[in-house]
Structure 1
Amino acid sequence: MREKITEISESLRRKGYRLTPQREAVIKTLLENPNQHLTAEDIYVMVRKSHPEIGMATVYRTLDLLSKEKIINQLSSGEGQCRYELESQAQRHHLVCLKCGQITEVNIQLLEKMQEALAAEHGFQIVGHLLKFYGYCAQCAPVEE
């Protein structure tokens, strides 16, 4: 984890930002909860355990900065809240429930093959993509009679 924090710190420094204790606490929370897709409120509650002085506005500003600098991904859920995850080199695909906002990560090998084919066919260097499927999770799906 320390290695990843150092990497992020150096990235921020190159862009003219410092890794403040509050920013580090937010990053640590995301690192400690991989694949959780936390809301700002979730992060705030977790960070306050070790940094009781941190305010909600600081968490929002930190998330905005980290998102702007492509250190984290901001995901819109069906419930109108944003959820956050650390940026990864691996392509991620998500199922987003429109009712409860649950976000499930899925790995779709077919899409990776399609990406390679598109790049080769068009001589295009793809550096990333975003794919979200919207619908209803098993708990929220309407029951058919």
Structure 2
Amino acid sequence: MESNNLRKAGLKVTLPRVKILEILERNREGHMSAEDVYKALLEAGEDIGLATVYRVLTQFETAGIVTRHNFEGNQSVFELDDGGHHDHLICVECGHIEEFIDYLIEIRQREVAMQHGFELRDHALILYGICGKCREQKGN
């Protein structure tokens, strides 16, 4: 996403916003906490405070640039919002997050909502388990 896209989202182009957006784009496949973003900025030699990171991520969420998730515990993680819906598998051992799309699950969720008289506005499906790598390490 370029600085033009920041403007389109109604945000002024500032150095912290650009740098934080660059970090998120480099980690497009992952989910980053504010602390993860802050550490990545420090490693890149950027002098942007943790409070600024939190503020910018909240602004990005409001502008629809990122999506906030609260998986296990109360720590929020963020990912760039590409406009498409996906669900998540989370390893309870190592915290690895895997994204997936299953159209049959999506259809079934809409059917369940309709059966109960709901107009579905949004939903999130999170499955918790143990990933293959952790199972291998345990010898299962």
Among 50, 64, 67, the residue aligned to 1:70? 64
Native 8 Å contact 1:99 1:140 kept in 2: yes
Quote the Cα distance in structure 2 between the aligned partners of 1:79 and 1:119: 27
Q: 1:51 to 1:24 in 2, by over 3 A?
A: farther
Change beyond 3 A, Cα 1:80–1:144: farther
> d(CA) in 1 for partners of 2:57 and 2:99?
20
Q: Deviations over 1:75-104 (max 9, x none)?
A: 223254322101121111101223332211
Distance of 1:120 and 1:52 partners within structure 2: 50
Q: 1:57 aligns with which of 43, 47, 51?
A: 51
Does the CA-based 8 Å contact 2:31-2:79 persist in structure 1? Answer: yes
Identity value in percent: 29
Structure 1 segments unaligned to the other structure (5+ residues)? none
Identify which of 126, 129, 133 aligns with 1:135. Answer: 129
- Match of residue 24 from structure 2: 30
Classify 1:78/1:136 alpha carbon distance in 2 versus 1 (closer, same or farther; 3 Å): farther
- Which residue of the partner structure matches residue 6 of structure 1? 4
| CA-CA distance at 1:144 after TM superposition | 9.0
Normalised to the residue count of structure 1, the TM-score between the two structures is 0.72
Cα distance in 2, alignment partners of residues 39 and 91 from structure 1 = 20
The alignment's C-alpha RMSD in Å is 3.1
Q: How does 1:80-99 map to 2 (within 5 A)?
A: 80-99=74-93
1:98–1:134 Cα contact (<8 Å) kept: yes
Please say if residues 34 and 77 of structure 2, whose CA atoms lie closer than 8 Å, have aligned partners that are also in contact: yes
Contact 2:41 2:47 in 1 (8 A): no
- TM-score norm. by structure 2 comes to 0.74
8 A contact 1:37–1:83 mirrored in 2: yes
CA drift at 1:112? 4.0
Name the residue aligned to 2:33.
39
Q: Check whether the contact 1:77–1:97 (CA below 8 A) recurs between aligned residues.
A: no
Aligned partners of 1:77 and 1:98 also within 8 Å: no
Residue pair 2:6, 2:12 contacting (<8 A) in 1 also: no
Instruction: Tell me which moved more, 30-39 or 67-76.
Output: 67-76
